[in-house]
Amino acid sequence: MAVAEVAGPVQGSARDRSRIGRIRRSYVLRRILKSIVTAYLVVSASFFLTRFMPGNPVDAFVTSKLQQGYSRSDAIAQATSLLTYNPNESIPKQYVHYIWRLLHGDMGQSIVSPGTPVTSYISKYLPWTLFSVGVGTIIAFVIGVLLGILVAYRRGGFLDHFLTNVSSLIHSVPNYVWAVLILVVGGVELNLFDVNDVQGTYSPGVKPGFNFTFISDAMYHAALPISVYALTLVGSWLLLMKSSTTQVLDEDFVTVAKARGLRDSRIRTMYVGRNAVLPLFTQFAIALGFVVGGSTLVETIFKYQGVGYYFYTAITGRDYPVMQGFILVLTLAVIVANLIADLLLSRIDPRIRTEGARQ
C-alpha cells in the first residue's frame, strides 16, 4: 500500500516533467511565447517614451486650451478624457491603467477629432495599407524570384551583369524618392496621368462595395503606391534569389540529379528552385511588416489614405493618441510578420522544428 502511494506522486511528477519538456522543445510554442514577450516590451516602451518625451501630450494639450480661453481645470479634464490617463496619477498607476485599457481594445481618442476612438482610425485605414503593400510585395517577390533564377543560370553573361547592376541601383533608392519621380516624370513631364485624379483611395461619388466599379476604381488609385513598393523591392528579391540559387547549384544533390539523367526542367523546379526559394520565405514575411511601417512617406506623397498617411497627419497635428496607436500597430506588424515567417519556414523545412528537440 505504501509503495502504491509513493508510486502515484512519482508517476504524476514524471508526467509533469515530460509535459514541460515537450513544451520547451516545441518550436512553434517557443516562437509564439517569444513574440508575446516582444509585443509586451514594445507596448511598455511605447508607454514610457510617450510619458517621458520632452513636452508631453498633456502639457501641450493643456497649453493649447489655455490659449483658447479654457480654465486650467477644464483643460486638464479634457486632456484626461482624450488621452485616457490622469496626469496627476503616478507613473506605475498610469502604466497599469494603460495596459488594462489595451487589453480591452481601448487606445484612447483622437485629440484633433474629439470623440473618435483611435481603434476606428486603425480599422478604417489599415486595410488600405495592407492591400497596397501586400500586392506590391507579392508582385516584386514573384518577378524577383523568376529573374533571380534566370540570372543564376546565366552567370557571367550580359544578362547577369545588366540585371544585377540595375537591381542594385533600384534597391539603393528609397521608396519615397521613386514616388516623387513617378509623380514628377509620369504625371507632370510626360502627362501619363492626372496627378490630382490619382490621389486618395477611391474617387468621390464611388460607393464602396464588392462590385466592378468600386474594385476597378480602387485598383486605379492604388496603382502608383503598388508600383513604388514593387519597384523598390524587386531588386532585392532578384539579388537574394540569384545568390541562393547559385549556392544550390553547387550542392551535391544537384550533381547527382544531373548524373541520373533527369530532365533539366525537373532539376530547375524540384531540386534547384524549391530549395533556393526556402530562405526567401522568412524575408518575404518580414518585408511585409517593414513595408507597412515604411508606407508613411509614400502614402503622404500620393495622398493615399492608409495608416501611413494618417500617421503623418497625426505627427503634424500633434495627435498623440493616434500617433501612439499607429506606432503600436506598425511595430506589432513587424513582430507578427517575423512570427509568420518563422512558422512558415518551420513547416517548409522540418529541420528547423527538430532543431529545438535536440537542444
- pLDDT tens digits along 150-183: 888 888 888 888 988 998 888 888 888 999 999 8
Average pLDDT (284-293) is: 73
Q: Read off the pLDDT band of 289 (50, 70, 90).
A: confident
Q: Read off the pLDDT band of 227 (50, 70, 90).
A: very high
**CA 277 distance to own-chain centroid:** 21
- What's the alpha-carbon Rg for the chain, to the nearest Å? 27
**Most confidently modeled range among 20-34, 140-154, 287-301:** 140-154
Total-model pTM:
0.76
In the predicted structure, residue 247 carries a pLDDT above the cut 80: yes
Q: What is the DSSP string of 267-329?
A: IIIIIIIHHHSHHHHHHHHHHHHHHHHTTHHHHHHHT--SHHHHHHHHHHTT-HHHHHHHHHH
Side chain identity at 19, as an amino acid letter?
A: R
- For 106: left if phi > 0, alpha if psi spans -120 to 50, otherwise beta; the answer is beta
Side chain identity at 49, as an amino acid letter?
A: L
CA distances from 345 to 235, 279, 358 (A): 22, 8, 18
Which of residues 63 and 167 earns the better pLDDT score?
A: 167
Tell me where in the chain the CATH 1.10.3720.10 domain(s) lie. Answer: 125-358
Burial of 165 (0-12, 13-18, 19+ CB in 10 A): exposed
Side chain identity at 262, as an amino acid letter?
A: L
Q: What is the pLDDT of residue 82?
A: 66
Average pLDDT (129-137) is: 89
Contacts for 353 with CB less than 8 Å, ≥ 6 apart: 27, 28, 346
Residue of 320, 236, 331 lying closest to 45 (CA atoms) = 331
Q: What percent of the chain has pLDDT over 90?
A: 7
Q: Of 17-31, 35-49, 95-109, 199-213, which range is least confident?
A: 17-31
In the predicted structure, residue 143 carries a pLDDT above the cut 90: yes
- Residues 126 and 129: their CA atoms lie apart, in Å, by 5
Q: Between vectors from CA 219 to CA 225 and to CA 339, what angle results, nearest 5°? A: 60
In the predicted structure, residue 16 carries a pLDDT above the cut 80: no
Q: What is the pLDDT of residue 225?
A: 92
Check residue 117 and report its DSSP letter: B
Q: What is the pLDDT of residue 105?
A: 81
Strand boundaries in 151-191, DSSP class E: none
- Residues 69 and 66: their CA atoms lie apart, in Å, by 5
In the predicted structure, residue 300 carries a pLDDT above the cut 80: yes
Q: What is the pLDDT of residue 226?
A: 92
In the predicted structure, residue 352 carries a pLDDT above the cut 70: no
Q: For 125-358, CATH number?
A: 1.10.3720.10
Q: Of 18-27, 92-101, 218-227, which range is least confident?
A: 18-27
Q: Read off the pLDDT band of 18 (50, 70, 90).
A: low
Average pLDDT (273-286) is: 76
Which of residues 292 and 40 earns the better pLDDT score?
A: 40
Q: Read off the pLDDT band of 85 (50, 70, 90).
A: low
pLDDT averaged over every residue in the chain: 79
Q: What percent of the chain has pLDDT over 70?
A: 83
